[in-house]
Amino acid sequence: MRLALIFLIMAATLARADEVSVAAAADLTYCLPAINAAFEKANPGVKVKTTFGSSGNFFAQIKSGAPFDVFLSADIQYPLALEKAGMAGDAQVYAKGRLALWTMNAGLDVSKGLAMLSGTEVKRVAIANPDHAPYGRAAKAALTHEGLWDAVSPKLVYGENIAQTAQFAQTGNADAGLVALSLVMAPSMAGKGHYFEIPADEYPAIDQAAVVTRAGSGKGLAEAYVAYLKSSEARKILEQFGFQLPK
Amino acid sequence: MILPKEFWEALWVTVRLATATTALLAVIGVPIAQWLARGKGRVHLMAEALLTLPIVLPPTVIGFYLLVMFSPQTAVGGMWTRVMGQPLPFSFAGLVVGSVIYSLPFAIQPFRAGLAGVSRELLDVARISGAGRVGTFWHVTLPTAWSGIAAGMVLSFAHTLGEFGVVLMLGGSIPGRTKVVSIALYDEVQKMDYAAANAYSAALLGVAFILILGVTLLQRRRGE
């Protein structure tokens, strides 16, 4: 009996551990751990649990009640749809994602931008799936804007999320990829391959939006985390990773 | 809801993949299963364990290793690219290789069971009657082991229909080439087109059920 009581108290203490669980879009893979470390330092005793994946996947899961407290989507459409379905609070834009052309192949000249993709040395180009991935939509828009869609689309391979897309390019399986700048600018990627930032007017804005989900709505910590994304420390980190900051 | 053109395209890729995989597995699996059925000893034991490994291995592991091993920058990948004209990842051939590994135990186990059931006496009679090795295999062993072999083929076909992890790692979701139904379904969910996702799921479930019904019938008949 006493043993059961001890276990119960232990379990209760563990459950109460100050923890916020975050579902984060894959373009934040390298950037968010830095932000989380800063958040944990500013809030001792707090732990941030992050899961990275595709925004579309998280949307479906959270809509069905997945126990994430915060959702960081690579666009604003998914959070707005969650809000409409009553599964999340107000969507707040905290950064703007940027698209980059990236290749590990030293023989390919990226400084001319997307035009290089129509060359015969480029056999496969990786983009995220334009049907549901925000960076994929941007990639398709940029290629269409430059009149390259018809020439390049037969060469396309589609990543399930932007991180897989980058991985296709990084392993050399795709000759080049249209990926999130935040993945290319990570310190672990420094010096790997060459990249070219696609001009922002060639694709619709990739607004990075954060929401507190219904599961996290009671938690002050979840609100604090979303607010932290707009703090000067977080903004500095976001900028280092190539995100554009809203005023 | 009527199934859209994308579904039929994905189904065609899936069926082609399952057919190619099953055919390849029959050709390489039957001799391997025969060797396993007729032998004992440590080599046979290790081989059987290795060949059964894909059952417990997460399919993403298979896909991952193939992706890394056959990247055009590696020696193996470079060789493959020279022979086949294009790298293994993102190609239909690449999916076949992945599927063969993925479904290997689902073919070899039933093959082995069927072949092990061919009695020694029967084979001796055939030998005494003058049939050569190939003749014995073709006219005696295969017909006797047939329901086991058929079960293995139907199982590997059905198993490949449901493949997801390997294709996700290796495929690149290219419509008409590597986008199979399971991937198409996944994409529909992410696109929030749940009506399409439901239709794809129901269709795949129906096909899978019919196939398993067939296997069950075959296995019952063998028991009689």
- Condensed to tens digits (0 to 9), the pLDDT of residues B130-156 reads 888 888 888 888 888 888 899 899 999
Say if residue A112 is in the same domain as residue A67.
no
Q: Is residue A142 part of a domain?
A: yes
Contacts of A87 in chain B (CB under 8 A): none
Q: How many domains does chain B have?
A: 1
Chain B residue numbers touching A174 (CB-CB < 8 A) = 90, 172
**pLDDT tens for each residue of B108-129:** 999 999 998 888 888 888 888 8
- At A145 the pLDDT is 95
A211 and A92: one domain? yes
* Residues A82, A109 within the same domain: no
Q: What is the CATH number of the domain that holds A229?
A: 3.40.190.10
Q: Residue B12 corresponds to which amino acid?
A: W
When pLDDT is cut at 50, 70 and 90, the band that residue A17 belongs to is low
Please state the rounded mean pLDDT for residues A112-131: 92
Contacts of B77 (CB under 8 A, 6+ apart): B69, B70, B71, B87, B88
Contacts of B98 in chain A (CB under 8 A): none
Distance of CA B104 to the CA centre of its chain: 6
Please, which residues have CB within 8 angstroms of residue A101's CB and are 6 or more apart in sequence?
A110, A113, A114, A116, A117, A176, A177, A178, A195, A196, A198
d(CA B29, CA B156): 11
Confidence at residue A140, expressed as pLDDT on a 0 to 100 scale: 97
Report the phi/psi class of residue A45: left, alpha or beta, with left for phi > 0 and alpha for psi in -120 to 50: left
Distance of CA B181 to the CA centre of its chain: 16
Establish if B73 belongs to a structural domain.
no
> Do residue A226 and residue A146 come from a single domain?
no
H-helix segments, B39-164: 42-52, 59-69, 75-84, 92-116, 120-128, 133-136, 142-161
Is B184 inside a domain boundary?
A: yes
A64 assigned to some structural domain: yes
Q: Higher pLDDT residue, A39 or B142?
A: A39
| The pLDDT of residue A35 is above 60 | yes
Please state which of the ranges A11-25, A102-116, A206-220, B165-179 shows the lowest mean pLDDT. Answer: A11-25
3-class DSSP state of A49: strand
The answer to whether the Cβ–Cβ distance between A56 and B73 falls below 8 Å is no
Residue among A54, A123, A174 minimizing CB distance to B190: A54
Q: How far apart are CA B145 and CA B132, in angstroms?
A: 18
Q: Is 80 exceeded by the pLDDT of residue A10? A: no
- Per the domain annotation, does A60 fall within a domain? yes
Dist. CA A26–CA B138, nearest whole Å: 55
* Average confidence (pLDDT) over B66-82: 88
Torsion sign over Cα B71, B77, B83, B84: negative
Q: What is the mean pLDDT of residues A234-242?
A: 94
Residue A198 lies in a domain: yes
Cα A122 from chain centroid (whole Å) = 27
The shortest CB-CB distance from A157 to any of B68, B71, B174 is to B174
In a domain, B62, yes or no: no
Mean pLDDT of A90-112: 92
pLDDT band at A198 (very low <50, low <70, confident <90, very high): very high
The arithmetic mean of pLDDT across residues B35-51, rounded, is 91
**How many Cβ atoms sit within 10 Å of the Cβ of residue B66?**
21
The partner residues of A209 in beta bridges, in order of sequence, read A73, A93
* pLDDT exceeds 80 at position B224: no
pLDDT tens-place string over residues B172-193? 889 999 999 999 999 888 888 8
Q: Does any domain span residue B63?
A: no
Same domain, A129 and A195: yes
Residue A189 lies in a domain: yes
Q: Does A177 touch chain B (CB under 8 A)?
A: no
- Looking up residue B204, the CATH number of its domain turns out to be 1.10.3720.10
Q: How far is CA B178 from its chain centroid?
A: 16
Residues 6 or more apart whose CB falls under 8 angstroms from that of B164 comprise: B59, B182, B183, B186
Q: What percentage of chain B has pLDDT greater than the value 90?
A: 45
At residue A11, the pLDDT reads 57
Question: Contact A172/B68, CB-based, under 8 Å?
Answer: no
Q: Look-up: residue for tokens 């009679």?
A: B125
For residue A130, give both structure tokens: 């334009």
Enclosing domain of residue A232:
2-96+207-240
- Residue B136, domain extent: 5-54+91-223
pTM, two decimal places? 0.82
In a domain, A246, yes or no: no
Count of H-run helices and E-run strands, chain A: 10, 10
Between A72-76, B36-40, B101-105, B153-157, the lowest mean confidence (pLDDT) is in B36-40
Q: Any chain B CB within 8 A of the CB of A119?
A: no
Per DSSP, the three-state class of B179 is coil
Q: What is the pLDDT of residue A51?
A: 94
Say which amino acid occupies B107: A
- Please indicate, yes or no, whether residues A105 and A141 belong to a single structural domain of this protein: yes
Cα separation of B151 and B109, whole Å?
10
Residues on chain B touching A173 (C-beta within 8 angstroms)? 67, 71-72, 87, 89-90
Widest pairwise Cα distance in chain A: 75
Domain count, chain A: 2
Task: State whether residue A137 sits within 8 Å of chain B by CB.
Answer: no
Residues A132, A55, single domain; the answer is: no
pLDDT value of residue A12:
53
- Indicate the helix (H) or strand (E) that contains A240: helix A232-240
Mean pLDDT across the stretch B14-37? 95
Flag whether pLDDT at B106 surpasses 70. yes
Separation between Cα atoms, residue B178 and residue B72, nearest integer Å: 18
- CB hemisphere CA count around B198 (13 angstroms): 6
Which tens digits make up the pLDDT trace of B193-223? Answer: 888 899 999 988 998 898 888 878 877 876 6
Q: Let me know whether A67 and A133 are in one domain.
A: no
Q: What is residue B22's DSSP assignment?
A: H
Residues A172 and A233 in one domain: no
Asked whether residue A198 falls in the same domain as residue A107, the answer is: yes
**Do B67 and A173 lie within an 8 Å CB cutoff?**
yes
Q: Is residue B205 part of a domain?
A: yes
Contacts of A57 in chain B (CB under 8 A): 189-190
